Amino acid sequence: MIEFAKFEKIFIKTHPELNEQWVQDRIAEDPKILGFGDVILKDKERIQPRAGRLDLLLQEADSNRRYEVEIQMGATDESHIIRTIEYWDIERKRYPQYDHVAVIVAEDITSRFLNVISLFNGIIPIVAIQMNALKLGDKVGLVFTTVLDQMTLGLVDEDEEVQETTDRAYWESRGSKKTVQMADKLLDIARKFDSTLELKYNKFYIGLTKQGISNTFLTFRPRKSALIFEMRLKRLPELDQQLEDAGLDVMDYQTRWGKYRLRLQPTDLNKHEELLTRLIQEASKLADG
């Protein structure tokens, strides 16, 4: 029988022994406790030009997303949000090749504070995390709860009405006939699971329609000698391993869109037809439901 244990909530701001540095060290030791998944510590107390020091800089292990993390004991205040956004802005300008997210960690995320930063969310990718310190005997643990997450952006097909429609000739010129034909072959595979699918030639990508309605669970971006193939699939370690074992050219996983991206050569379609078929089938199931 599992024994119930009663924890005592403590406030680090007023604690005689613990402080912000102690919290920072615990997160640095194991950044995953913030709930961002597989992230690693990139830097600590990172010096900002004419703007102090960024508490923690984290980066997703297998993507180009970085988190600028600011920690505050007690309740959030105006200076803290300004500092957090300022550090985020400095980092994104210095390193534009990364996808940056501002993160605020505090013991008390006030309703007024949430109202303010909600105004920025969608323009500035910002996450607010409330931290609770819990004591049991002579041990203290930290629990982190996301109370404001980064706004989820609309899917590509939700913005379809503003996408400029092109035609096959446009993509054969921008890419090549060979790489557009690769999209045809992948469409043939997808049609095994839904015979109503058709290609739709947009200005920035080739998508799919299902009975005339956009459904971009698969997208294609023909290049001169290769095809960028994107599949909306949940990221799984076992799937990562399958793709790696197959020797496919896997690009960064698009966390924001939930898509795997592969750079396919013409020979890949025959060589990896079985694997690609399984992946397309799974993406089709998720799209339906």
Question: What does the domain layout of the chain look like in residue ranges?
Answer: 8-148, 156-288
Q: Is the pLDDT of residue 162 over 50?
A: no
Confidence of residue 10 (pLDDT cuts 50, 70, 90): very high
Q: Structure tokens of 3? A: 């024994």
Q: What residue has token string 């898509």?
A: 259
Q: At the top level of CATH, which class does the domain 8-148 belong to? A: alpha beta
| Right CATH for 156-288 from 3.40.50.2000, 3.90.1150.20, 3.40.50.2300, 3.40.50.720 | 3.90.1150.20
Indicate the Cα dihedral angle 109, 113, 119, 124, nearest 10°. Answer: -60
Kindly give, in sequence order, each residue whose CB lies less than 8 Å from that of residue 164, ignoring residues fewer than 6 positions away: 202, 203
pLDDT tens digits for range 170-225: 999 999 999 999 999 999 999 999 999 999 998 889 999 988 888 889 999 999 99
E strand or H helix at 172: helix 168-174
Query: Are 8-148 and 156-288 equal in CATH topology?
Result: no
Which range has the worst mean pLDDT, 81-90, 111-120, 267-276?
111-120
Is the pTM higher than 0.85? no
Please, are residues 200 and 187 in contact by the beta-carbon 8 Å criterion?
no
E strand or H helix at 58: strand 52-60
Q: How far apart are the C-alpha atoms of 235 and 279, rounded to whole Å?
A: 12
Q: How far apart are the C-alpha atoms of 114 and 121, rounded to whole Å?
A: 10
Q: Is the pLDDT of residue 156 over 50?
A: no
Q: Please name which of 63, 62, 71 lies closest in space to residue 27, comparing C-alpha atoms.
A: 71
